Amino acid sequence: MPENRELALVRLPSQVDGVELNLSAIHRAGKAAPIVFLHGFGSTKEDYADIVRHEALAAHPFLAYDAPGCGETYCADLSDISIPFLLKTAQRVIEHFKLDRFHLVGHSMGGLTALLLAHKYPQHVLSFVNIEGNIAPEDCFLSRQILQFPEQNVERFFADFIDRTRHMPAYASALYASSLHHKVRAAAVPGIFRSMVDLSDSGKLMQKFIGLRCPKMFMYGEQNATLSYLGLLRTNGVRLTEIPACGHFPMYSNPIAMWTQIAAFLADV
């Protein structure tokens, strides 16, 4: 089957909790089950645009969008953004595109949002690829900095966060840090980070993830192979996929391996 390289960019006016949104999304049509991608903090929908370059996924329609506070999406009140807000946003987008059954892929912040979506609407999710999305307190190595480095001035906190991230000894950290100012509005950061920490500490995320009845894959970089819960996931039937030469960002460090593993997983579902 030839690759379907047609990719459409659309704007979706919407509202969540009375807050006006104008979402920026990319999508394409196809005959197989659709794939919904939810990007991580500091990333955008373009992390997943290269799906059109991978023939193994050519039959799948797909949808990705910039979360409120990120990329080209407009949000009238950035202080309202949190993971529950992002969950409601995901619901609005999926409803707009009339997606009934779909594969779900989420990275980091998007992985957490995707987990809550799959937990709330299990009847709609065919499978779930969790790319280092939060499922335990130890996953808050970025978001917990909102508590570790308290700062009332959000612009100053974000600038310091970017500087710390740039110097992290992990694959793609400097690359990731270099675009944060362009991809994220600083005023959105506190609400996102605090809610990520709260949910990771007390939201029973591991229980929710293991309890999903759909096929599940947990993807992680080789630098994070010491995550304490990998054995628990394996014991509970989660497919584990380690990406070589990679830390937290396979779409930047080793995208070919990321796409190959996603395609292989979906082929087995």
Q: pLDDT tens digits for 221-264?
A: 999 999 999 999 999 999 999 999 999 999 999 999 999 999 99
- Segment 118-153, tens digit of pLDDT: 999 999 999 999 999 999 999 999 999 999 999 999
* Burial status of residue 35 (CB atoms within 10 A of its CB: 0-12, 13-18, 19 or more): buried
* Burial status of residue 115 (CB atoms within 10 A of its CB: 0-12, 13-18, 19 or more): buried
Question: What are the tokens at 131?
Answer: 């790319």
Domains of the chain: 8-268 (3.40.50.1820)
Q: Cα angle vertex 268, ends 121, 217, to 5°?
A: 55
Cβ burial 57-85 (10 Å sphere, 16+ → b, else e): bbebbbbbbbbbbbbbbebebbebbbbbb
Half-sphere exposure of 172 (CA within 13 A, CB side): 20
Query: Does the pLDDT of residue 154 top 80, yes or no?
Result: yes
Q: Cα angle vertex 44, ends 43, 47, to 5°?
A: 90
pLDDT band at 3 (very low <50, low <70, confident <90, very high): very low
- Segment 37-88, tens digit of pLDDT: 999 999 999 999 999 999 999 999 999 999 999 999 999 999 999 999 999 9
Say what the pLDDT of residue 6 is. 81
* Burial status of residue 96 (CB atoms within 10 A of its CB: 0-12, 13-18, 19 or more): middle
Question: How many Å apart are CA 169 and CA 102, to the nearest integer?
Answer: 36
